[in-house]
Amino acid sequence: MCLGVPAKVIKIESEKALVDVMGSRMYVGIVFVPEVKISDFVLLHAGQAMTIIDEVYAKESIEEWRRVLDGNFKSSI
């Protein structure tokens, strides 16, 4: 199973970008999204930005991640 985490691009340096993931900052690879710009949201997997995502979707996804991390989610299984 693969999980993607939304992140906001803060800074771009060659083939890497500084991103914000729910308040934590880290550098990730951007070779799969060479067109990425500062303030774009990307979906991360294994230290790489895999795709650029819509801001509304990113913010909704971040809220869901917060619920999961806080233990406030309901399983549909």
Domains and CATH numbers, the chain: 5-70 (2.30.30.140)
Q: 29, exposed or middle or buried, with CB in 10 Å at 0-12, 13-18, 19+?
A: middle
Please tell me the distance from the alpha carbon of residue 72 to that of residue 30, in angstroms, as a whole number: 32
- pTM for the whole thing? 0.81
pLDDT at 76: 60
The mean per-residue pLDDT over the stretch 21-29 comes to 94
Is the pLDDT assigned to residue 2 strictly greater than 80?
no
User: Which residues, in sequence order, are bridge partners of residue 25?
Assistant: 20
pLDDT at 64: 83
Overall residue count recorded for the chain in this entry: 77
* 15 close to 30: Cβ distance less than 8 angstroms: yes
- Classify 53 in phi/psi space as left (phi over 0), alpha (psi -120 to 50) or beta: beta
pLDDT at 67: 82
pLDDT at 56: 93
Is the pLDDT assigned to residue 1 strictly greater than 70?
no
